[in-house]
């Protein structure tokens, strides 16, 4: 199958919350279509290791990092197998996998900017028999960009409107906002934490991976003094382009600003939810004031308390789920990385310099070939 052949594509991502691997089977011709989706939970010991390393400020043992890279790659491959089995699709029908990997570090503002994702793509290709495109962020960083967010280009492809300036709000571990202008121009950036801090606090105090439907936050009261201290972080007033992650907004970040043992757990959670709402609303007013309506996607759409609070804060703009546009809110990012793999094999750039700040458009991702029979001739090795 040639690189220009349509075929099917699989997108894989585990976000900053590391709450599971999302896998999406997609086609993109004539238009982006989600054919099947699957979410595979992490083995709990592996998830805890991922979160411990992602939130650690200390050194990382290279042997631990190497083994984690392979273990994550195997789990990603398992997610592909489960997806294709459920969909009744043979691996041979899939042109390529687009794998984001699991972010451990995203530090793009220093003298040697870098971003690091694990999930060995060669392991994925070997175990699935499907060409795998991965390492999407580093080409943009090398070109002077933030390497994130990468989804605004896909948001524009599936959710832009010529009648209205639409904001697409991804509520993952980190919140990012895409501003889709009616004339086709796109801007976007990470606003700060969405679910990540709330998830971490929920795990810390009640051993639950998330505050389901915002129930703990609903029982608490916002501590205005704590909220003010959290809002004083300089990230929130930085101008775009900007991006961040769990390695910045984590529980130690919270503990540095308050003695959480002196507060009711519910009040801390309510304040963290208020932080998410306030920083998103402020970002919309400051950077996206022309937005006429906001479409939300990501896991946060299932938090009723969060969505209600956002609707009040963003009024009179309408807030809705991407489901109303026919786009599954739980699998937008997985679809997006399948789309980036599709573009990579077509030789088309995947980044938007207007979003990331890169010096120009770049092909994103490296192609890791699936195993094929090799034959030796007088001219050397060649694939069958």
pLDDT digits (tens, 9 = 90+) for 8-45: 999 999 987 788 999 999 999 999 999 999 999 999 99
Mean pLDDT (whole number) for 142-157: 97
- Mean pLDDT over 156-183 rounds to 96
Instruction: Render pLDDT for 175-223 as a digit per residue (tens, 0 to 9).
Output: 999 999 999 999 999 999 999 999 999 999 999 989 999 999 999 999 9
3-state DSSP assignment of residue 363: coil
Helices (H), 262-369: 265-287, 304-314, 332-345, 353-356
For residues 108 and 221, membership in a common domain is answered with no
Can you give the residue range of the structural domain that contains 141? 8-147+331-383
What pLDDT does 3 receive? 52
Asked if residue 43 lies in contact with residue 107, where contact means CB atoms within 8 angstroms, the answer is no
Count of structural domains, the chain: 2
Can you give the pLDDT at residue 15? 84
Tell me the C-alpha distance between 193 and 3, whole Å: 38
Evaluate whether 50 touches 104 at the Cβ level (below 8 Å): yes
- The stretch 347-370 carries a mean pLDDT of 97
Residue 235 falls within a domain, yes or no?
A: yes
Summarised one tens digit per residue, pLDDT across range 277-291 is 999 999 999 887 799
Task: Calculate helix-pair angle for 265-287, 304-314, nearest 10 degrees.
Answer: 40
Same domain, 365 and 306: no
pLDDT band at 2 (very low <50, low <70, confident <90, very high): very low
Q: Token pair 């029979």 is at which residue?
A: 373
Residues 305 and 202 in one domain: yes
Last residue of a domain, one of 296, 325, 354: 325
Helical (H) or strand (E) element with 139: helix 138-142
Query: CB 258: neighbour CB atoms within 10 A?
Result: 16
Same structural domain, 109 and 176: no
Domain shared by 141 and 155, yes or no? no
DSSP state letters, 241-258: S----TTTSSHHHHHTT-
Q: 83 and 98 in contact (C-beta within 8 Å)? A: no
Average of pLDDT values for 168-180? 96
Q: Is 144 exposed, middle or buried (0-12, 13-18, 19+ CB in 10 A)?
A: middle
Least-confidence region, from 22-26, 45-49, 139-143: 45-49
Is 60 exceeded by the pLDDT of residue 4? no
For residue 80, pLDDT beyond 70: yes
Residue 288 inside a domain? The answer is yes
Domain contains 126? yes
Q: Provide the whole-model pTM.
A: 0.93
pLDDT of residue 32: 96
Q: Is the pLDDT of residue 344 over 90?
A: yes
What is the tens place of the pLDDT at every residue in 111-135?
999 999 999 999 999 999 999 999 9
The CATH number given to whatever domain includes residue 37 is 3.30.420.40
């Amino acid at each position: 199958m040639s690189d220009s052949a349509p075929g099917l594509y699989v997108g894989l991502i585990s976000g900053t919350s590391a709450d599971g691997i999302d896998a999406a089977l997609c086609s993109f011709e004539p238009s982006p279509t989600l054919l099947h989706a699957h979410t595979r939970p992490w083995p709990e010991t592996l998830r805890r290791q991922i979160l411990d390393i992602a939130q650690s400020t200390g050194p990382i043992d290279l042997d631990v990092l190497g083994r984690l890279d392979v273990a994550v790659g195997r789990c990603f491959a398992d997610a592909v197998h489960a997806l294709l089995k459920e969909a009744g699709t043979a691996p041979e029908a899939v042109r390529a996998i687009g794998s984001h990997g699991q972010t451990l570090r995203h530090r793009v503002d220093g003298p040697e900017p870098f971003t690091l994702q694990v999930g060995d793509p060669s392991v994925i290709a070997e175990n699935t028999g499907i060409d795998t495109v991965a390492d999407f962020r580093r080409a943009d960083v090398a070109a002077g960009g933030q390497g994130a967010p990468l989804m605004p280009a896909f948001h524009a492809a599936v959710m832009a409107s010529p009648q209205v300036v639409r904001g697409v709000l991804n509520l993952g571990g980190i919140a990012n906002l895409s501003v889709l202008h009616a004339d086709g121009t796109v801007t976007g950036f990470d606003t700060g934490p969405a679910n990540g801090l709330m998830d971490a606090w929920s795990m810390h105090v009640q051993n639950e991976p998330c505050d389901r439907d915002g129930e703990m936050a609903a029982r608490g009261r916002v501590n205005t003094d704590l909220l003010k201290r959290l809002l004083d972080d300089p990230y929130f007033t930085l101008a775009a382009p900007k991006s961040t992650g769990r390695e910045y907004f984590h529980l130690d970040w919270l503990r540095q600003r308050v003695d959480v043992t002196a507060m009711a757990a519910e009040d801390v959670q309510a304040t963290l939810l208020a932080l998410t709402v306030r920083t998103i609303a402020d970002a919309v007013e400051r950077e996206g004031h022309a937005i006429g309506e906001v479409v939300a996607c990501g896991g946060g759409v299932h938090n009723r308390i969060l969505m209600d609070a956002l609707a009040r804060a963003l009024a009179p703009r309408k807030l809705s789920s991407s489901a109303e546009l026919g786009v599954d809110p739980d699998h937008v990012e997985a679809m997006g990385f399948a789309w980036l793999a599709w573009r990579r094999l077509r030789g088309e750039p995947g980044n938007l310099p207007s979003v990331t700040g890169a010096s120009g458009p770049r092909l994103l991702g490296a192609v890791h070939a699936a195993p094929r029979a090799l034959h030796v001739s007088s001219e050397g090795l060649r694939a069958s």
